[in-house]
Structure 1
């Protein structure tokens, strides 16, 4: 299968290596950054310099490819998806942006190729896991989805390090969040819904952020009383971000906020990804709760040291693409993450990267 990976940043770099190392994919990386491409080329990955903001250039570059994996920032997703549509190739991306996903869904209507956005961790894997748990109940009362990409050793006031796209981080803190309350779909505000909980003796907070649910609200509508997604951080992070975004009004000046975060908050590869899903409902006449948890740490993959967010984000994309290549997913039209079987995902060679330390669900307490 010949795959173009658009975006030679951290996650695109990782996806290209993971796919190439299987021997089952012919991979070419696209980017307009010559320096980023040189790094990949020096590691044996084929590259092509393409202006990702130019849909016609991307479309022309896709000639002869089977699929495009988009690892570019969310604001380029629709542009690149349109190029994939014009070129007649399958399309996959990592976007958490709700409006971009809606636009891509429109492109997928009646298409002979598959369009599958949101193939990362959240949205992505978290929806696969939550959907699997929900299907085990005759009636679902509540679904809670919690994900955190956190530094293993927090030292600054935000208790946070940059482990993925700054653009994506700010976007999920600023956009409305979909949820289900009292069996009705609605929008809630980001940074609200603050809660505290502990896992394995460590204190965390969680609050609303945008995009993590993917299409799950629509899929589970009329089956679920309550459904929400929240990002997990160390206590105090949310209040400081609210100060920056609301009190200093940087939500309307994202370029300044990006500059501040990049200048003041260091990146790290010593991180941990926390995944926590709880589903409560009726089964065989009894009220039951099922819990799915994972805690993924940085480690060496494909001979390269990788952060936990690299492993989980790139690993999810590669697992979904692998399942698609094997014919286990629809081959045309709009494909939702919850159409992926959790069992198939975890059995996949890339999905097995999620089979790390399993948390003790009994040690979790929500407040």
Structure 2
């Protein structure tokens, strides 16, 4: 399968290696950064320096490809999806942006090719898990989805290191958050809904952020009483972000905040991803709860060290592409994450990264 992979950042490089090494994909990696592309060399892929914000140049690259895998910043998702439609390519991306997803859904109407956004960790895998658990209930009460990509060794006041895109991070902290409350679809405020919990003896906080639910609100509306998604951080992070975005009004100058974070907050490869889903409802006349809880750790091998967020995000989109190639997903139109069967995902050669993770023994 011929694939144009847009973006050669940390996630793009991991996607390139996974797909390139599999032997089933001919991958052309496209980026404006020659140095980033050089890091993809030797991974069985073709590299091409292209200005990814130049619509005509990007369109030229897509001609003759069968699929587009978009690992560019979220604000380029709509453009990339339009170009995929024009080129007759299937389309997959990692966006968490709600507006972009709704536009891609519109683009996919009547298309002869498939469009599957939100193929990462959250949205992505978290929605697959939640929908799988929900299907086993006769009636649903509460679906709670919690995900965190955290430094294993936090040292600063925010108790955070950059583990993925700063653009995506600030975007999810600033936009309204879809949820279902008492059966009604609502927009909750970001950074609100603070709660605390412990996992394996470590204390965490969780709060509303945008985009993690994917399309689950539409899928489960009328079927569930409460449905929400919250991002997990170490205690104290939310208050400091609220101070920066609200009190200092940096929500209105996000580029300044992003610049400060890039200059002052080191990236880390030593991270951990938490996945924590609880679903409650009625089964055979009894009120029951099902829980899915995992920790995925960074791979510190000398040859190709990978952060936990690289592993989980790349595994999500590569598994989606692989299941699609195998005919296990619809072959045209808009594809929701919850259309992926969890057992098929975990059995997939890429999705098995989640299967190999450590199941959390206790939650308090």
**Inter-partner Cα distance in structure 1 for 2:233 and 2:218:** 27
- Which residue number corresponds to residue 352 of structure 2? 352
Q: How many residues align?
A: 363
- Which residue number corresponds to residue 327 of structure 1? 327
Q: How much has 1:37 moved relative to structure 2?
A: 1.5
- Pair 1:102 & 2:113 matched: no
Q: Please give the per-residue CA displacement for 1:147-170, whole angstroms capped at 9, x wherever unaligned.
A: 000000111100000000000000
- Which residue number corresponds to residue 140 of structure 1? 140
Contact 2:20 2:43 in 1 (8 A): no
Contact 2:16 2:43 in 1 (8 A): no
Contact 1:17 1:302 in 2 (8 A): no
Q: How does 1:226-241 map to 2 (within 5 A)?
A: 226-241=226-241
SS at match of 1:53: coil
Moved more, 135-144 or 41-50: 41-50
Q: How much has 1:59 moved relative to structure 2?
A: 1.6
Q: Please give the per-residue CA displacement for 1:201-235, whole angstroms capped at 9, x wherever unaligned.
A: 00000000000000000000100000000000000
SS at match of 2:155: coil
**Inter-partner Cα distance in structure 2 for 1:42 and 1:114:** 30
Q: How much has 1:39 moved relative to structure 2?
A: 2.4
Gap runs ≥5 in structure 1: none
SS at match of 1:120: coil
Q: How much has 1:57 moved relative to structure 2?
A: 1.8
**Inter-partner Cα distance in structure 2 for 1:38 and 1:235:** 39
Contact 1:21 1:302 in 2 (8 A): no
Q: How much has 1:300 moved relative to structure 2?
A: 5.3
Contact 1:142 1:280 in 2 (8 A): yes
Q: Quick one: structure 1 residues 170 and 316, their matched pair in 2 at CA, closer, same or farther if it must change by over 3 Å?
A: same
Q: How much has 1:21 moved relative to structure 2?
A: 0.6
Q: How does 1:1-367 map to 2 (within 5 A)?
A: 1-41=1-41, 43-299=43-299, 303-355=303-355, 356-360=357-361, 363-365=362-364
Q: What TM-score, normalized to structure 2?
A: 0.98
**Inter-partner Cα distance in structure 1 for 2:302 and 2:215:** 32
Contact 1:144 1:229 in 2 (8 A): yes
Q: Quick one: structure 1 residues 44 and 346, their matched pair in 2 at CA, closer, same or farther if it must change by over 3 Å?
A: closer
Q: How much has 1:302 moved relative to structure 2?
A: 11
Q: How much has 1:54 moved relative to structure 2?
A: 2.1
**Inter-partner Cα distance in structure 1 for 2:216 and 2:297:** 27
Q: Please give the per-residue CA displacement for 1:253-273, whole angstroms capped at 9, x wherever unaligned.
A: 011000111111110000000
SS at match of 1:206: strand
**Inter-partner Cα distance in structure 2 for 1:190 and 1:63:** 40
Q: Please give the per-residue CA displacement for 1:173-226, whole angstroms capped at 9, x wherever unaligned.
A: 000000000001010000000000001100000000000000000000100000
Q: Please give the per-residue CA displacement for 1:45-85, whole angstroms capped at 9, x wherever unaligned.
A: 31112221122221211111110000000000001111111
Contact 2:148 2:275 in 1 (8 A): yes
Moved more, 48-57 or 15-24: 48-57
Gap runs ≥5 in structure 2: none
**Inter-partner Cα distance in structure 1 for 2:214 and 2:42:** 36
Structure 1 stretches of at least 4 aligned residues deviating more than 4 Å after TM superposition: 300-303
**Inter-partner Cα distance in structure 2 for 1:219 and 1:301:** 40
Q: Quick one: structure 1 residues 165 and 70, their matched pair in 2 at CA, closer, same or farther if it must change by over 3 Å?
A: same
Q: How much has 1:32 moved relative to structure 2?
A: 1.2
**Inter-partner Cα distance in structure 2 for 1:173 and 1:358:** 28
Contact 1:50 1:57 in 2 (8 A): yes
Contact 2:4 2:27 in 1 (8 A): yes
Q: What TM-score, normalized to structure 1?
A: 0.97
**Inter-partner Cα distance in structure 1 for 2:292 and 2:301:** 24
Q: How much has 1:36 moved relative to structure 2?
A: 1.4
Q: Quick one: structure 1 residues 26 and 43, their matched pair in 2 at CA, closer, same or farther if it must change by over 3 Å?
A: closer
